[in-house]
């Protein structure tokens, strides 16, 4: 059985940003600083990223009972490949950490574009350690749609990236179904690569996060709430109608919310259909129609139910390596050792679906 990690992470925090970024931006390049607890953060535009405390804070640096085994694999690809061997992962699709998750909220669009280029070049070099097993996801300045299209094209055509990441919104204040973003989705469809929606607690202004200053609250709510909004925009906003060959994946929020959201959107479609005349079918039919994919958490007990509800071709395994809530080095084993997932479904969710999503 082929194992594909649909959402693993690198740690780009320690890139020599000032050396690599073009001259006009050197004085404003991302830099590593420590907060008052001695925890490393990225400083961009005078802000610590992700936000360490206060309303909408991250859980980075918060005390906790469990952490994954320490490893340098997020910075060092050779070690990463050893860790993949230890886990039994054949291919890993790589997202960033910081400033990756914070970049969409940089106000200066030109600075955001320059940071994205440095990051993507670094990630391309990281993947050269084994281009067959390490696959890159592009970071683009989504707050500047024309520049995002250009950088997406460069990453796919010039660097061989297999996907592009986006948050649910950015410093531009535009939702995913805003007309300004249509060229971005059009280019992803034209290039044949998926758009992966990925958010982070403490980055930007996730739904409801401004109401809380406690890391338990902010991290628990950010991912599922934002992904529900993302599905709402992509499905009800008509993105899939406009781009019928586009694939969109919703990462790191678990999968248990999907059946509930399908039924709730269908309920609203029943009595508010005249307000969304661009939709040709109920939202659930888009959500299980082959264009959308969802990552699940390794210890989710509802995986079998969700797969049956939404369709077994739509769920993908994601390790979240090696973020502080990952289960390395036991991530793969925590899924493959389960007796409640039939072998045929196991093969799909652990690799076959991700291979189709990313064209691997």
For residue 132, count CB atoms less than 10 angstroms from its CB and return exposed for 0-12, middle for 13-18, buried for 19 or more: exposed
Q: Beta-carbon neighbour count of residue 178 at 10 Å? A: 14
Which residues contact residue 351 at a Cβ distance below 8 angstroms, ignoring those fewer than 6 apart?
1, 2, 3, 4, 90, 317
- Please state the CATH superfamily assignment of the domain spanning residues 4-358 in this structure: Metal-dependent hydrolases (3.20.20.140)
Smallest CA-to-CA distance from 199 within 237, 138, 251 is with 251
Distance CA 184, CA 192 (A): 12
Which residues contact residue 30 at a Cβ distance below 8 angstroms, ignoring those fewer than 6 apart?
15, 17, 42, 43, 44, 99, 115
Q: Quickly tell me which residue has 């309920």 as its tokens.
A: 267
The DSSP letter of residue 344 is H
**Cis before residue 329, ω within 30 degrees of 0?**
yes
- DSSP code string of 96-142: --TTTTTGGG-S-HHHHHHHHHHHHHHHHHHHTT-TTTEEEEE---T
Contact 249, 225 (CB under 8 A): no
Residue 68 pLDDT: 86
Contact 116, 106 (CB under 8 A): no
Domain boundaries, the chain: 4-358
Task: Collapse the DSSP code of 274 into the 3-class scheme (helix H, G, I; strand E, B; otherwise coil) and give the result.
Answer: helix
For 15-69, the three-class secondary structure string (H helix, E strand, C coil) is: CCHHHHCCHHHHHHCCEEEECCCCCEEEEECCEEECCCCCCCCCCCCCCCCCCCC
Please give the distance of CA 338 from its chain centroid, rounded to a whole number.
Answer: 26
Smallest CA-to-CA distance from 73 within 89, 52, 62, 60 is with 89
Helix and strand numbers (H, E) in the chain are 14, 11
Smallest CA-to-CA distance from 78 within 34, 139, 134 is with 134
Which residues contact residue 328 at a Cβ distance below 8 angstroms, ignoring those fewer than 6 apart?
68, 69, 71, 83, 87, 319, 321, 322
Q: Which helix (H) or strand (E) holds 188?
A: helix 182-191
Alpha-helical (H) ranges within 232-341 are 239-242, 257-272, 283-287, 303-310, 331-336
Distance CA 93, CA 7 (A): 6
Residue 266 pLDDT: 99
Q: Quickly tell me which residue has 């520049």 as its tokens.
A: 147
Q: Give the pLDDT of the chain (360 residues) as one tens digit per residue.
A: 999 999 999 999 999 999 999 999 999 999 999 888 888 989 999 988 888 888 888 877 777 777 788 899 999 999 999 999 999 999 999 999 999 999 999 999 999 999 999 999 999 999 999 999 999 999 999 999 999 999 999 999 999 999 999 999 888 889 999 999 999 999 999 999 999 999 876 677 778 888 889 989 988 888 999 999 999 999 999 999 999 999 999 999 999 999 999 999 999 999 999 999 999 999 999 999 999 999 999 999 999 999 999 999 999 999 999 998 899 999 999 999 999 999 999 999 999 999 999 999
Residue 202 pLDDT: 61
């Amino acid at each position: 059985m082929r194992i594909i990690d649909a959402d693993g992470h690198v740690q780009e925090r320690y890139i020599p940003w000032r050396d690599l970024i073009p001259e006009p931006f050197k004085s404003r390049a991302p830099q590593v600083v420590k907060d008052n607890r001695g925890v490393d953060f990225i400083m961009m535009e005078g802000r610590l990223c992700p936000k360490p405390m206060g309303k909408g804070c991250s859980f980075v640096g918060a005390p906790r009972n469990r952490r994954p085994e320490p490893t340098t694999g997020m910075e060092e690809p050779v070690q990463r490949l050893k860790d993949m061997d230890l886990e039994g992962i054949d291919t890993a699709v790589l997202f960033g950490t910081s400033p990756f998750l914070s970049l969409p909220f940089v106000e200066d669009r030109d600075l955001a574009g320059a940071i994205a280029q440095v990051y993507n070049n670094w990630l391309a070099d990281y993947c050269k350690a084994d281009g067959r097993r390490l696959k890159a996801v592009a970071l683009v300045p989504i707050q500047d749609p024309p520049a995002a299209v250009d950088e997406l094209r460069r990453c796919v055509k010039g660097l061989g990236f297999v996907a592009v990441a986006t948050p649910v919104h950015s410093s531009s204040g535009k939702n995913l179904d805003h007309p300004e973003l249509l060229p971005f989705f059009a280019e992803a469809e034209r290039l044949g690569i998926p758009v992966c929606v990925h958010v982070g607690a403490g980055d930007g202004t996730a739904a409801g996060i401004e109401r809380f200053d406690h890391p338990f609250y902010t991290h628990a709510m950010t991912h599922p709430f934002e992904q529900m909004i993302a599905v709402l925009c992509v499905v009800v906003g008509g993105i899939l109608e406009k781009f019928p060959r586009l694939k969109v994946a919703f990462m790191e929020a678990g999968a248990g919310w999907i059946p509930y959201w399908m039924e709730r959107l269908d309920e609203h479609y029943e009595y508010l259909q005249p307000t969304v005349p661009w939709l040709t079918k109920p939202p659930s039919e888009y959500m299980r129609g082959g264009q959308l994919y969802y990552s699940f958490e390794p210890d989710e007990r509802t995986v079998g139910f969700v797969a049956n509800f939404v369709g077994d071709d739509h769920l993908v395994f994601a390790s979240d390596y090696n973020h502080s809530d990952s289960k390395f080095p036991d991530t793969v084993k925590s899924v493959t050792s389960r007796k409640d997932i039939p072998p045929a479904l196991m093969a799909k969710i652990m690799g076959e679906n991700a291979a189709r999503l990313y064209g691997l």
